[in-house]
A and B are shown apart, each in its own frame.
Chain A
């Protein structure tokens, strides 16, 4: 897991092993299924002895923001297709064999097939958009933040509070039009999205790196606060109210088409690779390096589907795969990359820090001596690199599936249309 201290690894090993063994023929019974919604992850963050997925640290997904009453979702830096990417975990499933898309309804006063959201119903103030209507809430084991969107035509002038449940829409026989799938996670009122400062502090503490080094710089920023990271965190929006069965709920919106579902409305996951390594004691342990995001089914060779505006059409739902790297592989940490003469990480190495090299024992020396100019490392920073350089036996599929929509893809913020 991204940023996981190695001291936590033993805690993780056992449950992961159990989860995996459950799927084996003739093995013990399947491990119990469980869904952690955002509210569950927040709850666990306040416990001293929590039950986070895979017994991860209690504040691995949600952390308290100092001096406020708000808790904050945790931004994760990772790599995909050889470039940095970033995501936020909102919900987590263990040992679900399927996760489904559920319907969600937006009210429009006139249908426009070319711009479905153009005529959204407004609140009485004439400005605020009327909240969507969710069909299944987070108390259900079948809740998911993956929504099949329907635009529902209501007469102009309809009071915004008239329709607050799916049944009301059906009972009135309103016309519906299916739209693009959407990722929206229903959130407790006391959970917020991370801001640039939250992320900067976290990564300074964990890895002593500046996340801005992994982002494309902004030419002529209008203000010092307009950092690349600030633009990244704007990729997600906290919206005040949607409706579930007449009850108003806040939610985080991560935009459209960031996951795929099949004809049975089952969300399709892509692999998220977590590095492990065999210790001299013979026990597999976590490497503690950022994860690597896949782009398609393992060993499928399918290319990533990304829209022209840098918006990946996958990644909403991941499945964790353990990747056991051989002795000799290691993550390039900041201390290793720092020049003894300047005390700084050379510019050419800044974006290499936190990546895992298969041949670290051989390549880190020349890399450091040349300040990045002589790069003979085999970087394991993409699905392709992992599958090309490691045997299939190095990969272990788990029953763990986090919902982690992208907020950054290949150094750029992911737009939220």
Chain B
């Protein structure tokens, strides 16, 4: 949850170091108009598209290729899942939080092996390491950006290779995570229209999706609802109020699946023929030594994991970001409601018999402090901690209350290498047997 993001790692690392250490990222520019940086990239607050290029900027080269490699090493307790061995309730994934044992920035967990018990598709992607310590190649990311010469038009695509192994053998995927075109019709206005597959506009955590952006290693317990990509159109507009050191922004989208991650709702087609509407209204105050950003988000539309257009999903979210004297607080509340469908459920992981009604309430708060250091390759050390709490229930199933404490340390070396180490302490507070599912994970990210 850094206050500023850059698509290129050197810029990113530098920006993060400066931002966290001083609380003065580009988003703190106050009354200034959003000026493109030399690489043609913008900060990744909610005013933009997250880890995507700037609108209408001219680059020295029309085509730019960037990316990163995220290597990991992780160890989860138990068998790498949250499934209690003696709990034979079915579906097995309704009585536990299967997303608890995250090991990387994608939210992949150590394992989703339910031991032969039936599961109904409330699952993340799995790294397939179980309870054993293992190195991982979390992500190999390559981004292509093409700025149309002499036109306010840009095309961007993000291709990711995700080497994985499962009990069935090789499970490697090539994922086109984003692919969109963006038009900035008026030079003097912060107005952009994007069409294609792009990040969510709900909340703020999607801004940290990529490993070279995220302060820590793993996403929050709520990321599954707000950080997915989807296919459609998006309109962004921001209005600056220089005299008040403030800005208002509006980001609205009409997409196939909304903001759930692809393992929960498929984003690449509309299964109902009706778009899902979502948006975020944000306010930011950018004083020289203090920044505050608050926003409210909403999403409404048919569930895209089934085909009945009368079966809806609803999300309400609120977010807050504060930056003061190098200390950063990010917090978010997310409320999710999904109607029950009588259709079969289809997610990115396959087809499942029942699309149950679902309800969730949760929040997280993250505190980070970065210390800038100029000692050879060492540029910065950042300590961070996060508390997540999530209450959820499938209709008719026992409500589940879980929380998680995350603590970690991040070291930025040179301008292109980040080393992050993190411990996740997961707890089942109500509704599910307690299980050993804490995680230790390490991530080494090199950007190019």
Residue of B nearest to A98 (CB): B353
Residues in B285-308 with C-beta less than 8 Å from chain A = 307-308
Tell whether B132 is near chain A: CB-to-CB under 8 Å.
Answer: no
Q: Does A137 contact B (CB under 8 A)?
A: yes
Query: Quick check: B307 and A29 within 8 Å, CB to CB?
Result: yes
In the complex, what's the smallest C-beta–C-beta distance from A164 to chain B, in angstroms? 12
**A333, B194: Cα distance in complex, Å:** 72
One of B73-81, B322-330, B340-348 contacting the partner? B340-348
The winner among A100, A171, A266 for most chain B CB atoms within 10 A is: A100
Shortest CB-to-CB span from B131 to chain A, Å, is 19
Do B87 and A142 touch (CB < 8 A)? no
Q: Mark A255-269, 1 if CB is under 8 A from B, else 0.
A: 000000001111000
Q: How far is the CA of A135 from the CA of B90 in the complex (A)?
A: 9
**Which residue of A97, A143, A170, A176 contacts B353 across the interface (Cβ within 8 Å)?**
A97
| Complex: A165 Cα to B307 Cα, angstroms | 35
Choose, from B38-46, B61-69, B394-402, the stretch at the interface: B394-402
A133-176 near B? 1/0 per residue, CB < 8 Å: 00111111111000010000000000000000111001100001
Assuming A33-B354, A102-B90, A148-B88, is B396 touching A139 (CB within 8 A)? Answer: yes
Q: Mark A94-108, 1 if CB is under 8 A from B, else 0.
A: 001110111100000
Bound together, the chains give a CA A245 to CA B398 distance in angstroms of 7
Residues B393-441 near A (CB distance < 8 A) = 394-399, 430-434
Given contacts A141-B354, A265-B118, contact A170 B84 (CB under 8 A): yes
A417 within 8 A of B: no
Question: What's the minimum C-beta distance from B350 to chain A, rounded to whole angstroms?
Answer: 13
CA–CA, A392 and B82, complex, Å: 47
Q: Is the CB of B86 within 8 A of A34?
A: no
Interface size on A, residues (CB 8 A): 33
Chain B neighbourhood of A97, CB < 8 A: 353
CB A15 to nearest CB in B, in angstroms, measures 13
- By a CB distance below 8 angstroms, the chain A residues around B94 are 142
In the complex, the answer to whether A141 meets B396 with C-beta atoms within 8 Å is: yes
Point out which of B88, B118, B430, B432 has the most chain A C-beta atoms below 10 A from its C-beta: B88
The complex places the Cα of A97 from the Cα of B352 at a distance, in Å, of: 10
B342 contacts A166, C-beta separation under 8 Å:
no
Task: Select B88's contact among A34, A263, A265, beta carbons within 8 Å.
Answer: A265
Instruction: Identify which of residues 186-211 in chain A touch chain B, using a CB-to-CB cut-off of 8 Å.
Output: none
Q: Is A391 an interface residue (CB 8 A)?
A: no
* Residues of A contacting B118 in the complex (Cβ-Cβ under 8 angstroms): 98, 100, 264-266
Structural contact, B395 and A141, CB atoms closer than 8 A: yes
- B356 on the A face (CB < 8 A): yes
Bound Cα distance A139, B398 (Å): 10
Determine the distance from Cα of A19 to Cα of B444 in the docked complex, in whole angstroms. 54
Residues of B within 8 A of A308 (CB): none
The answer to whether B396 touches A136 (Cβ under 8 A) is: yes
CB nearest neighbor in A for B430: A167
One of B89, B340, B399, B432 near A141 (C-beta < 8 A): B340
| Cβ–Cβ < 8 Å partners of B36 in chain A | none
User: A interface, by DSSP: helix, strand, loop or mixed?
Assistant: loop
B435 nearest in chain A by CB position: A170
Provide the residues of chain B in CB contact with A103, threshold 8 Å. Answer: 87-89
A221 beta carbon closer than 8 Å to chain B:
no
Interfacial residues of chain B within 88-138, with CB under 8 A of chain A in the complex: 88-91, 94, 116-118, 120
**Residue A365 is within 8 A (CB to CB) of chain B in the complex:** no
Pairwise interchain contact B89-A34, C-beta atoms closer than 8 A: no
A103→B87 CA distance, assembly (Å): 8
Please indicate the chain B residues that have their CB under 8 angstroms from the CB of A340 in the complex: none
Closest to A32 in B: B342
A30 at the interface (CB under 8 A from B): yes
Do B396 and A264 have beta carbons less than 8 Å apart? no
Closest to A94 in B: B342
Contacts of A141 in B (CB 8 A): 340, 354, 356, 395-396
**How far is it, in angstroms, between the C-alpha of A254 and the C-alpha of B434 when the chains are bound?**
33
Contact present for A142 and B397 (CB under 8 Å): yes
Q: Which of A29, A136, A142, A165 has the most CB of B within 10 A?
A: A142
A248 to B46, CA, bound (A): 49
Candidate in A98, A141, A263 with the most chain B CB atoms within 10 angstroms: A141
The reply to whether A166 and B90 form a contact with Cβ atoms under 8 Å apart is no
Tell me the complex Cα distance, A101–B94, Å: 15
Of A32, A33, A143, A165, the residue contacting B396 (CB under 8 A) is: A143
A101 to B307, CA, bound (A): 28
In contact, A142 and B431 (Cβ under 8 angstroms): no
- Contact B356 A140, beta carbon cutoff 8 Å: yes
A95: nearest chain-B partner, CB-CB = B342
- The answer for the CA separation of A96 and B308 in the assembled complex, in Å, is 17
**Given A32-B343, A33-B354, A141-B354, A170 and B86 touching (CB < 8 A)?**
yes
B342: which of A33, A101, A136 is its contact (CB, 8 Å)? Answer: A33
6 A–B contacts from the bound complex (CB under 8 Å)? A30-B343, A138-B396, A142-B94, A167-B433, A170-B86, A245-B398
Apart from A101-B90, A103-B88, 14 more pairs, CB < 8 Å: A32-B343, A100-B118, A136-B90, A141-B356, A141-B395, A142-B356, A143-B396, A166-B398, A167-B398, A167-B431, A170-B434, A171-B434, A265-B88, A265-B117
List of 7 A-B pairs having minimum Cβ-Cβ separation, nearest first: A140-B396, A139-B396, A32-B342, A170-B433, A100-B90, A103-B88, A141-B354
